Structure 1
Amino acid sequence: MADHDGVPSSPQPPTVVALTIAPGSRLPTKDVAGVEVEAGRGIVGDRYHGTKHRHVTVQSLEGLRAAAEDLGAPIEHSGTRRNITVSHGEIPSRPGERIRIGHVELEVVRIAAPCRLLDDWISDGARIVLRGRAGTVFRALTSGPIEIGDRMELRP
């Protein structure tokens, strides 16, 4: 895609397309239009709120679609139990890397490893095709709201 001068335009930044919380372990997830994030604690109302480091998980819809193609079965964003799904792009995965979603700054803790339960919840083989595509675990550095449509930006 090019702008009016024929110069390639920059791609649109990833945006939040889904927000999911679960009030407890193994309880069903719930799609919501917005969440409130507390620095050092995570998403209010989510099962991991108040844990030491696992405050927010982020995945890419683009990655889920690629995994679904490899699996030969659909993978819904909520099936992975990640909190935030962005439209596209790579999710940072090296500890210490930072992103901002809306007004909330997040720092990578580790890659979110797909658990064996995904084979039961999604389809046999889901855990394997989701390796490296199941998102990243972040700690919340600042507080604030995150809503559908908010942009994800890489931070220095």
Structure 2
Amino acid sequence: MPGGVLVGIARHARPKGPMELLETVEVTVDGGLDGDCRGRVKPNGRGRRQVTLMERGDWQAAMAELGQAVPWQERRANLLLDGIDIPQVPGMRIRIGTVELEITVECDPCFRMEAVAPGLEAALTPDWRGGACTRVKAGGRIALGDAVTVIQPGIT
């Protein structure tokens, strides 16, 4: 399967807090993106929403549909990928450097997107445009420009 590239990294230290753009970040199985409030696996939790992914092309399509130019991090996703189609199949995996992320569920856009731009929630709804939620299967350090590939579960 063709590969892509990591073109954006963002985290927020607290719920509803501002998004911080990064050039590199550590990713762990227990904590997701270092410093991101959503990545930590809670006791008895499944960690289904540790790291969120979005395709650059999907964000651009939503912006074109709305006639807007809002920065991607306003979507509140953690990683922006370019040149790759995020699998819409739970269990599939994405590799970024040594980091391996398992797709768990669609990252449904919520009503808070309307505060970003009127119509954004609806523009992100079709065909997983809002992105995917993932669970960290293998940690490591990632950086802008890292290669991104889709891998089959259990294949290294």
Residue ranges of structure 2 left out of the alignment (5+ in a row)? 42-46
What is the TM-score of this pair, normalised by structure 1? 0.88
* Secondary structure of 2:129 counterpart: coil
Deviation at 1:53, TM superposition (A): 2.2
* Secondary structure of 2:74 counterpart: helix
* Contact 2:25 2:142 (C-alpha < 8 Å) held by counterparts: yes
* Secondary structure of 2:60 counterpart: helix
Deviation at 1:25, TM superposition (A): 0.6
Between the two proteins, what is the percent identity of the paired residues? Answer: 29
Decide which structure has the larger Cα Rg and report it. 1
Residue ranges of structure 1 left out of the alignment (5+ in a row)? 1-9
Matched, 1:64 2:54: no
Matched, 1:88 2:83: yes
* Secondary structure of 2:138 counterpart: coil
The amino acid across from 1:109 in the alignment is: T
What is the TM-score of this pair, normalised by structure 2? 0.88
Instruction: Please name the residue that 1:25 is paired with.
Output: 15
Instruction: Please name the residue that 2:28 is paired with.
Output: 38
* Contact 1:108 1:138 (C-alpha < 8 Å) held by counterparts: yes
Of 141, 147, 155, which residue of structure 2 is paired with 1:145? 141
* Contact 1:48 1:55 (C-alpha < 8 Å) held by counterparts: yes
Instruction: Please name the residue that 2:102 is paired with.
Output: 107
Farther-moved stretch of structure 1 (19-28 vs 35-44): 35-44
Instruction: Please name the residue that 1:125 is paired with.
Output: 119
Of 74, 77, 87, which residue of structure 1 is paired with 2:69? 74
Number of equivalent positions: 145
Alpha-carbon displacement from aligned partner over 1:61-101 (angstroms, at most 9, x marks no partner): 11111111111112321110000001233211211011101
* Secondary structure of 1:15 counterpart: strand
Matched, 1:54 2:49: yes
Following TM superposition, where does structure 1 have runs of at least 4 consecutive aligned residues deviating by more than 2 angstroms? none
In 1, Cα distance between equivalents of 2:109 and 2:31? 22
Farther-moved stretch of structure 1 (124-133 vs 51-60): 51-60
